[in-house]
Amino acid sequence: MNTIVPVYYQIKQDIKKWIVSGEFNPGDKIPSENELSMKFNVSRLTLRQAISQLNQEGFLISKRGIGTFVTTNKDLIDSSSLEVSGFLNDLFYEVSKVKTKEVKIKRIMASRRIKEKLEMDQGDKEVIQIERVRFKGSRSFAHTINYLPVEIGSKINKGELYKKPLLQIIEQDLGIPFTEAFQTIEASFASQELGKKLGVLAGSPILFLERIMYTKGRKPVELVQSSHRGDIYKYFVRLKKIKSKQGGTWEPQKE
């Protein structure tokens, strides 16, 4: 268990993942409090806190004297909020669970900003732009635009983007390993055009993410700009205080 995030919350998230991933199907009876307490090595009181929250959120339904069951509300399960811890492995895992329903690929002139982000050679003027709208269940989840060097982007098959994440295509199909990434996140509001794509009103809160993906030699190979619905996407980072002579600093905590 992580020592910073409350234990009951970690248990709640684990059970929720079992439900969302299909390990428990709608209507299934989950293990008893005793069984789950032993599995997580916690007291029944701590376990009940986790179960209580899942009841409140609608993922579980407890019936006195009978047991606790997974909700039959498939829409709730399919559209459950994404919560990632800020580390790329978690991010890639969540991205793999959304579905792409709209894809546009075209070759465009690179703006000065794109050239700087991708550290393009002076003679390179074009990039491949991939625009997608991705869904979580029946609701649109994110509008994403990827910019790739022509030598990489021209190898992307549009049909494959409906089957698997672009990250997976680049790493596994094209054999380009990612070694690091630089990401920024900022709060923003949906424009009228973006609102239509995400199924929200203009002015609705969104999270805007920009990420540069690097391969060996710290060479940038992808620029990602993604707008996420604020009512579906959640982002949190676990921090740990590192002591120093100046009093200490807070740094992201590794698992």
**pLDDT band for position 4 (cuts 50, 70, 90):** very low
How much is the pTM?
0.64
Q: Are residues 220 and 118 in the same domain?
A: yes
Q: Are residues 86 and 208 in the same domain?
A: yes
Mean pLDDT of 118-122: 93
> Is 121 domain-assigned?
yes
Residue 253 Cα distances to 5, 11, 84, 214, 241, angstroms? 11, 19, 13, 22, 9
Residue 15 φ/ψ, nearest 5 degrees: -65, -40
pLDDT number for residue 60: 95
Helices 7-21 and 44-57 meet at what angle, rounded to 10? 50
Residue 32's CATH number: 1.10.10.10
Decide: 130 and 148 in contact? Cβ < 8 Å: yes
pLDDT digits (tens, 9 = 90+) for 130-143: 999 988 777 888 99
pLDDT number for residue 234: 66
> Is 168 domain-assigned?
yes
Q: Are residues 104 and 152 in the same domain?
A: yes
Q: Are residues 137 and 210 in the same domain?
A: yes
Q: Are residues 59 and 11 in the same domain?
A: yes
Residue 136's CATH number: 3.40.1410.10
Is 63 a residue whose pLDDT tops 90?
yes
Of the three residues 49, 78, 107, the one that is the final residue of a domain is 78
**pLDDT band for position 118 (cuts 50, 70, 90):** very high
Is 219 a residue whose pLDDT tops 80?
yes
**Rounded percentage of the chain residues whose pLDDT exceeds 70:** 83
> Is 67 domain-assigned?
yes
> Is 241 domain-assigned?
no
Please state, rounded to an integer, the average pLDDT across all residues of the chain: 85
> How many structural domains does the chain have?
2
Q: Are residues 121 and 206 in the same domain?
A: yes
**pLDDT band for position 97 (cuts 50, 70, 90):** low
pLDDT number for residue 87: 46
Domain that holds residue 99: 82-235
